[in-house]
Amino acid sequence: NAGVTQTPKFRILKIGQSMTLQCTQDMNHNYMYWYRQDPGMGLKLIYYSVGAGITDKGEVPNGYNVSRSTTEDFPLRLELAAPSQTSVYFCASSPVPTSYEQYFGPGTRLTVT
Amino acid sequence: AQSVTQPDIHITVSEGASLELRCNYSYGATPYLFWYVQSPGQGLQLLLKYFSGDTLVQGIKGFEAEFKRSQSSFNLRKPSVHWSDAAEYFCAGAGGYQKVTFGIGTKLQVIP
Protein backbone atom coordinates (compact mmCIF):
# COMPACT_ATOMS: atom_id res chain seq x y z
CA ASN A 1 0.00 0.00 0.00
CA ALA A 2 1.97 3.01 -1.27
CA GLY A 3 -0.59 5.67 -0.27
CA VAL A 4 -0.24 8.87 -2.29
CA THR A 5 2.68 9.05 -4.71
CA GLN A 6 3.88 12.07 -6.67
CA THR A 7 6.29 12.43 -9.54
CA PRO A 8 8.67 14.04 -10.16
CA LYS A 9 10.24 15.00 -6.82
CA PHE A 10 12.08 17.97 -8.29
CA ARG A 11 11.81 19.89 -11.53
CA ILE A 12 13.26 23.06 -13.00
CA LEU A 13 11.26 24.74 -15.75
CA LYS A 14 11.98 27.70 -17.95
CA ILE A 15 9.40 30.46 -18.19
CA GLY A 16 6.71 29.53 -20.69
CA GLN A 17 7.32 25.79 -20.59
CA SER A 18 4.60 23.39 -19.62
CA MET A 19 4.57 20.27 -17.50
CA THR A 20 2.34 17.83 -15.68
CA LEU A 21 2.73 16.89 -12.06
CA GLN A 22 1.57 13.35 -11.49
CA CYS A 23 -0.39 12.14 -8.47
CA THR A 24 -1.63 8.61 -7.82
CA GLN A 25 -3.31 7.08 -4.80
CA ASP A 26 -4.03 3.42 -4.16
CA MET A 27 -6.46 3.81 -1.25
CA ASN A 28 -9.59 4.06 -3.42
CA HIS A 29 -10.29 7.55 -2.09
CA ASN A 30 -12.86 9.56 -3.97
CA TYR A 31 -11.58 12.97 -2.91
CA MET A 32 -8.28 14.34 -4.13
CA TYR A 33 -6.62 17.72 -3.76
CA TRP A 34 -3.73 19.77 -5.05
CA TYR A 35 -2.03 22.29 -2.78
CA ARG A 36 0.90 24.60 -3.15
CA GLN A 37 3.11 25.48 -0.22
CA ASP A 38 5.07 28.71 -0.11
CA PRO A 39 7.29 29.76 2.80
CA GLY A 40 5.31 31.45 5.55
CA MET A 41 2.04 30.98 3.67
CA GLY A 42 0.86 27.54 4.71
CA LEU A 43 -0.94 25.43 2.14
CA LYS A 44 -3.22 26.91 -0.50
CA LEU A 45 -5.75 24.74 -2.32
CA ILE A 46 -5.36 24.85 -6.10
CA TYR A 47 -7.93 22.33 -7.34
CA TYR A 48 -9.86 19.42 -5.93
CA SER A 49 -11.90 16.51 -7.21
CA VAL A 50 -14.80 14.67 -5.62
CA GLY A 51 -14.58 11.72 -7.98
CA ALA A 52 -13.66 10.61 -11.47
CA GLY A 53 -14.78 13.19 -14.01
CA ILE A 54 -15.54 15.89 -11.42
CA THR A 55 -13.14 18.70 -10.56
CA ASP A 56 -13.47 22.17 -9.10
CA LYS A 57 -11.36 25.21 -8.39
CA GLY A 58 -9.82 25.93 -5.06
CA GLU A 59 -8.38 29.12 -3.69
CA VAL A 60 -5.55 29.69 -6.23
CA PRO A 61 -6.43 27.95 -9.54
CA ASN A 62 -5.05 30.49 -12.02
CA GLY A 63 -2.33 29.06 -14.24
CA TYR A 64 -3.23 25.45 -13.53
CA ASN A 65 -5.50 22.77 -14.93
CA VAL A 66 -6.51 19.34 -13.69
CA SER A 67 -8.28 16.26 -14.92
CA ARG A 68 -9.61 13.16 -13.16
CA SER A 69 -10.23 10.30 -15.53
CA THR A 70 -9.78 7.57 -12.92
CA THR A 71 -10.21 7.29 -9.16
CA GLU A 72 -6.49 6.74 -8.74
CA ASP A 73 -4.96 9.58 -10.76
CA PHE A 74 -5.22 13.34 -10.43
CA PRO A 75 -2.59 15.12 -12.57
CA LEU A 76 -1.93 18.85 -12.32
CA ARG A 77 -1.01 20.70 -15.51
CA LEU A 78 0.98 23.92 -15.78
CA GLU A 79 0.56 25.32 -19.27
CA LEU A 80 2.76 28.43 -19.33
CA ALA A 81 5.10 28.31 -16.38
CA ALA A 82 5.77 31.58 -14.59
CA PRO A 83 8.21 32.40 -11.76
CA SER A 84 5.22 32.87 -9.45
CA GLN A 85 4.57 29.15 -9.76
CA THR A 86 7.84 28.30 -8.07
CA SER A 87 6.62 26.35 -5.07
CA VAL A 88 6.28 22.95 -3.47
CA TYR A 89 3.21 21.10 -4.67
CA PHE A 90 1.39 18.52 -2.60
CA CYS A 91 -1.28 16.11 -3.65
CA ALA A 92 -3.63 14.70 -1.03
CA SER A 93 -6.56 12.35 -0.89
CA SER A 94 -9.45 11.77 1.47
CA PRO A 95 -11.89 8.88 1.81
CA VAL A 96 -14.95 11.01 2.48
CA PRO A 97 -15.26 14.78 2.64
CA THR A 98 -16.93 14.88 6.01
CA SER A 99 -13.96 13.29 7.72
CA TYR A 100 -11.73 16.06 6.34
CA GLU A 101 -8.78 13.83 7.13
CA GLN A 102 -6.28 14.00 4.29
CA TYR A 103 -3.37 11.81 3.29
CA PHE A 104 -0.51 13.64 1.63
CA GLY A 105 2.05 12.71 -0.95
CA PRO A 106 5.75 13.60 -0.51
CA GLY A 107 5.55 16.69 -2.71
CA THR A 108 7.10 18.05 -5.90
CA ARG A 109 9.52 20.96 -5.65
CA LEU A 110 9.18 23.11 -8.77
CA THR A 111 11.43 25.99 -9.74
CA VAL A 112 10.57 28.25 -12.68
CA THR A 113 13.40 30.42 -13.95
CA ALA B 1 -14.15 34.03 7.41
CA GLN B 2 -13.31 30.58 8.65
CA SER B 3 -9.68 30.33 9.57
CA VAL B 4 -7.03 28.97 11.85
CA THR B 5 -4.18 31.05 13.21
CA GLN B 6 -0.81 29.91 14.42
CA PRO B 7 0.72 32.89 16.21
CA ASP B 8 4.21 31.42 16.54
CA ILE B 9 6.21 31.04 13.36
CA HIS B 10 9.28 29.58 15.04
CA ILE B 11 9.80 27.96 18.45
CA THR B 12 12.95 26.60 20.02
CA VAL B 13 12.89 24.16 22.91
CA SER B 14 15.52 22.08 24.66
CA GLU B 15 15.43 18.34 24.31
CA GLY B 16 13.45 16.87 27.20
CA ALA B 17 11.50 20.06 27.82
CA SER B 18 7.76 20.33 27.42
CA LEU B 19 6.19 21.77 24.30
CA GLU B 20 3.04 23.70 23.55
CA LEU B 21 2.20 24.96 20.07
CA ARG B 22 -0.68 27.38 19.78
CA CYS B 23 -3.58 27.32 17.40
CA ASN B 24 -6.65 29.53 17.40
CA TYR B 25 -9.66 29.00 15.21
CA SER B 26 -12.45 31.15 13.89
CA TYR B 27 -15.52 29.18 12.89
CA GLY B 28 -19.21 29.72 13.39
CA ALA B 29 -19.83 26.28 14.80
CA THR B 30 -17.52 23.73 16.36
CA PRO B 31 -15.09 22.86 13.61
CA TYR B 32 -13.16 19.75 12.87
CA LEU B 33 -9.59 20.46 13.96
CA PHE B 34 -6.33 18.77 13.07
CA TRP B 35 -2.63 18.92 13.71
CA TYR B 36 -0.23 17.78 10.99
CA VAL B 37 3.53 17.44 11.11
CA GLN B 38 5.90 17.95 8.20
CA SER B 39 9.47 16.71 8.43
CA PRO B 40 11.99 18.33 6.08
CA GLY B 41 11.44 17.27 2.48
CA GLN B 42 8.35 15.26 3.37
CA GLY B 43 4.62 15.54 3.01
CA LEU B 44 2.27 16.26 5.88
CA GLN B 45 1.37 13.52 8.32
CA LEU B 46 -1.70 13.62 10.54
CA LEU B 47 -0.83 13.77 14.25
CA LEU B 48 -4.32 13.96 15.70
CA LYS B 49 -7.83 15.20 15.07
CA TYR B 50 -10.80 16.51 16.99
CA PHE B 51 -14.35 16.08 15.82
CA SER B 52 -16.44 16.10 18.99
CA GLY B 53 -16.62 14.55 22.42
CA ASP B 54 -13.65 14.43 24.75
CA THR B 55 -11.81 17.73 24.47
CA LEU B 56 -8.41 16.16 25.15
CA VAL B 57 -7.26 14.27 22.10
CA GLN B 58 -4.36 11.85 21.99
CA GLY B 59 -2.32 11.45 18.85
CA ILE B 60 0.68 9.66 17.52
CA LYS B 61 4.29 10.17 18.65
CA GLY B 62 3.19 11.13 22.18
CA PHE B 63 1.36 14.31 21.18
CA GLU B 64 -1.93 15.52 22.56
CA ALA B 65 -4.14 18.53 21.96
CA GLU B 66 -6.90 20.16 23.95
CA PHE B 67 -9.96 21.79 22.44
CA LYS B 68 -11.03 24.85 24.42
CA ARG B 69 -14.20 26.41 23.11
CA SER B 70 -14.03 29.37 25.49
CA GLN B 71 -10.63 30.33 24.12
CA SER B 72 -11.21 29.19 20.51
CA SER B 73 -8.00 27.24 20.81
CA PHE B 74 -6.64 23.84 19.94
CA ASN B 75 -3.10 23.79 21.29
CA LEU B 76 -0.73 20.92 20.69
CA ARG B 77 1.35 19.60 23.60
CA LYS B 78 4.05 17.11 24.33
CA PRO B 79 5.48 16.57 27.83
CA SER B 80 9.05 15.80 26.73
CA VAL B 81 10.43 16.74 23.34
CA HIS B 82 12.87 14.55 21.44
CA TRP B 83 15.33 15.76 18.82
CA SER B 84 13.36 13.85 16.20
CA ASP B 85 10.36 16.11 16.86
CA ALA B 86 12.09 18.97 15.03
CA ALA B 87 9.76 19.68 12.14
CA GLU B 88 7.07 22.07 11.01
CA TYR B 89 3.64 21.73 12.55
CA PHE B 90 0.41 22.79 10.91
CA CYS B 91 -2.93 23.34 12.54
CA ALA B 92 -5.93 22.89 10.24
CA GLY B 93 -9.66 23.30 10.51
CA ALA B 94 -12.80 22.57 8.56
CA GLY B 95 -16.49 22.91 9.01
CA GLY B 96 -19.81 23.52 7.34
CA TYR B 97 -18.83 21.59 4.23
CA GLN B 98 -16.02 24.06 3.58
CA LYS B 99 -12.60 22.92 2.56
CA VAL B 100 -9.84 22.36 5.06
CA THR B 101 -7.95 25.53 5.95
CA PHE B 102 -4.35 25.29 7.08
CA GLY B 103 -2.45 27.63 9.34
CA ILE B 104 0.87 29.03 8.21
CA GLY B 105 2.82 26.54 10.30
CA THR B 106 5.12 26.64 13.31
CA LYS B 107 8.68 25.52 12.83
CA LEU B 108 10.04 23.66 15.86
CA GLN B 109 13.74 23.62 16.59
CA VAL B 110 15.04 21.25 19.27
CA ILE B 111 18.39 22.03 20.87
CA PRO B 112 20.50 19.57 22.88
- Read off the CATH number of the domain in which A39 is found: 2.60.40.10
In a domain, A19, yes or no: yes
Cβ partners under 8 Å of residue A37, min gap 6: A43, A44, A87, A88, A89, A90, A107
Domain region containing A33: 15-105
In a domain, A6, yes or no: no
What mean pLDDT value characterizes chain B?
92
Rounded CA separation A99/A94 (Å): 8
Candidates B32, B41, B43; nearest CB to A100: B32
How would you write the pLDDT of chain A (113 residues) with one tens digit per residue?
689 999 999 999 999 999 999 999 999 999 999 999 998 888 999 999 989 999 999 999 999 999 999 999 999 999 899 999 999 999 999 987 666 788 999 999 999 99
pLDDT cut 90: percent of chain B above it: 77
Q: Look at residue A99 in the predicted model and tell me its pLDDT.
A: 64
Cβ-Cβ contacts under 8 Å between A and B: the total is 46
Residue B16 has pLDDT above 90, yes or no: yes
B104 with A58: Cβ contact below 8 A: no
- Read off the CATH number of the domain in which B66 is found: 2.60.40.10
In a domain, A45, yes or no: yes
A104 with B44: Cβ contact below 8 A: yes
Residue B82 has pLDDT above 80, yes or no: yes
A40 and chain B in contact, CB less than 8 A:
yes
pLDDT band at B94 (very low <50, low <70, confident <90, very high): confident
**Cβ contact B64:B6 at 8 Å:** no
Report the residue of chain A nearest B100, measured CA to CA: A100
Work out how many domains chain A is built from and give that number: 1
Q: Look at residue A16 in the predicted model and tell me its pLDDT.
A: 96
Rounded CA separation A74/A30 (Å): 11
Domain region containing B41: 3-111
Q: Look at residue B96 in the predicted model and tell me its pLDDT.
A: 65
pLDDT band at B97 (very low <50, low <70, confident <90, very high): low
Rounded CA separation B109/B14 (Å): 8
Q: Look at residue A98 in the predicted model and tell me its pLDDT.
A: 62
User: How many other CB atoms are there within 10 angstroms of residue B2's CB atom?
Assistant: 16
- Which of A100, A103, A108 best tests the B interface by mutation, with the highest count of B CBs <10 A? A100
Rounded CA separation B94/B25 (Å): 10
A48 and chain B in contact, CB less than 8 A:
yes
Binning chain B into helix, strand and coil, the percentages to the nearest 5 are: 10, 50, 40
Work out how many domains chain B is built from and give that number: 1
Q: List pLDDT tens digits, range B23-70.
A: 999 887 778 999 999 998 888 999 999 988 889 999 999 999 999 999
In a domain, A78, yes or no: yes
